[in-house]
């Protein structure tokens, strides 16, 4: 058979009922602006850390919505909390506050601790 250079994608079924949506619900309660996200990707395109790591705020928002927690834990440690993503967001999503909430949720689950007295809502 001729090789036309195409391959079939493997199935990627997501069973939302089995995923953990508790983090998304907590983030919505503390930072409702996450619901304004339209996955435009502007935050990821301007991310200082994203140029050197796989950090993507757009992906984090999507994973949160789906209840896929594990990849988020790896990514948020790469954020420098510089706030560029928040400034560029056309929907006024407070992305920096979302990252901070995710750090707090992660520290509740593990021995990992993130210390900050600063309230990014101010
Ligand atoms: S820039 Fe704002 S609206 Fe666009 S993907 Fe990022 S958080 Fe969502
Ligand atoms: S606050 Fe974090 S996610 Fe946003 S641009 Fe800065 S390093 Fe990237």
The CATH number covering residue 82 comes to 1.10.1060.10
Q: Could you identify the residue written with the tokens 């089995």?
A: 18
- Average pLDDT, integer, range 96-106: 95
Half-sphere exposure of 48 (CA within 13 A, CB side): 10
27 in a structural domain: yes
> Could you tell me the residue range of the domain that residue 52 belongs to?
20-108
93 in a structural domain: yes
Distance 22 CA to ligand 1 centre (A): 21
* Number of independent structural domains in the chain: 1
d(CA 84, CA 108): 27
Q: What pLDDT score does 38 carry?
A: 96
Token pair in block for residue 82: 């510089």
Distance 109 CA to ligand 2 centre (A): 23
- pLDDT bin (cut points 50, 70, 90) of residue 17 is confident
43 in a structural domain: yes
Is 86 near ligand 1, meaning CB less than 6 Å away?
Answer: no
14 in a structural domain: no
44 in a structural domain: yes
- Average pLDDT, integer, range 91-107: 95
- pLDDT bin (cut points 50, 70, 90) of residue 122 is very low
pLDDT at 20 over 80: yes
| Helix, coil or strand: residue 51 | helix
9 in a structural domain: no
Is 89 near ligand 2, meaning CB less than 6 Å away?
Answer: no
Q: What pLDDT score does 18 carry?
A: 84
Atom of ligand 1 nearest to the CA of 91: 3
62 in a structural domain: yes
Residue with the larger pLDDT of the pair 19 and 94 = 94
Q: What pLDDT score does 9 carry?
A: 82
d(CA 84, CA 43): 7
Ligand whose nearest atom lies closest to the CA of 58:
1
Contact in structure between 60 and 43 (CB atoms under 8 Å): no
Is 67 near ligand 2, meaning CB less than 6 Å away?
Answer: no
pLDDT at 111 over 90: no
């Amino acid at each position: 058979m001729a090789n036309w250079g195409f391959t079939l994608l493997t199935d990627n079924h997501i069973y939302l009922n089995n995923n953990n949506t508790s983090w998304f619900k907590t983030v919505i309660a503390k930072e409702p602006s996450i619901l304004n996200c339209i996955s435009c990707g502007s935050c990821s395109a301007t991310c200082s850390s994203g140029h050197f790591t796989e950090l993507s705020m757009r992906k984090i928002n999507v994973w949160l919505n789906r209840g896929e927690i594990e990849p988020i834990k790896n990514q948020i440690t790469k954020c420098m909390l510089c706030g560029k993503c928040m400034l560029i967001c056309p929907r006024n999503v407070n992305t920096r506050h979302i990252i901070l909430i995710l750090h707090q949720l992660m520290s509740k689950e593990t021995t990992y601790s993130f210390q900050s007295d600063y309230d990014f809502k101010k």
